[in-house]
Amino acid sequence: QVQLVESGGGLVQSGGSLRLSCAASGRTFSNNVMAWFRQAPGKEREFAAAIGWVTDSTYYADSVKGRFTISRDNAKNTMYLQMSSLKPEDTAVYYCAARPSGGIYSPLSYTYWGQGTQVTVSS
């Protein structure tokens, strides 16, 4: 079992920045990949970014590439999402996820999820 807890969401103006954190506990050594997804009201949950837990591989959705940076601190079992140049369309609940069993871009692949943290970007 893996437990994931997100933090760092909030209200920010367009063009601003936020850093999200995802603290993992439990059998974290099995987390081959961890990811951030987001879900806006009335929309499906979508992939934002992912990172290999052992490798330095990172993956980004086109919509966030160049603005968001995913990183991890293995010693703290924590993953981060640094979000810059935020836009109103980035408004969503952001979820962290761990241990995909298939493709990393689909939420259906992930076994473990956090409870989500709200990010609201005002125009």
CA distances from 112 to 2, 57, 91 (A): 7, 20, 23
CA distances from 48 to 1, 37, 62 (A): 24, 5, 8
Average pLDDT, stretch 90-96?
98
User: Residue 8 corresponds to which amino acid?
Assistant: G
Average pLDDT, stretch 96-118?
93
User: Residue 33 corresponds to which amino acid?
Assistant: V
Rounded distance, CA 107 to CA 43, Å?
Answer: 13
pLDDT at 1 over 90: no
Q: Which of 60, 17, 5, 10 is CA-nearest to residue 35?
A: 60
Determine the pLDDT at residue 23. 96
The overall average pLDDT reported for the chain is: 94
Rounded distance, CA 71 to CA 83, Å?
Answer: 11
Range of lowest pLDDT (11-15, 18-22, 42-46, 73-77) = 73-77
Strands (E), the chain: 2-7, 10-13, 18-26, 33-39, 46-52, 58-60, 68-73, 78-83, 92-100, 110-113, 117-122
Rounded distance, CA 50 to CA 98, Å?
Answer: 9
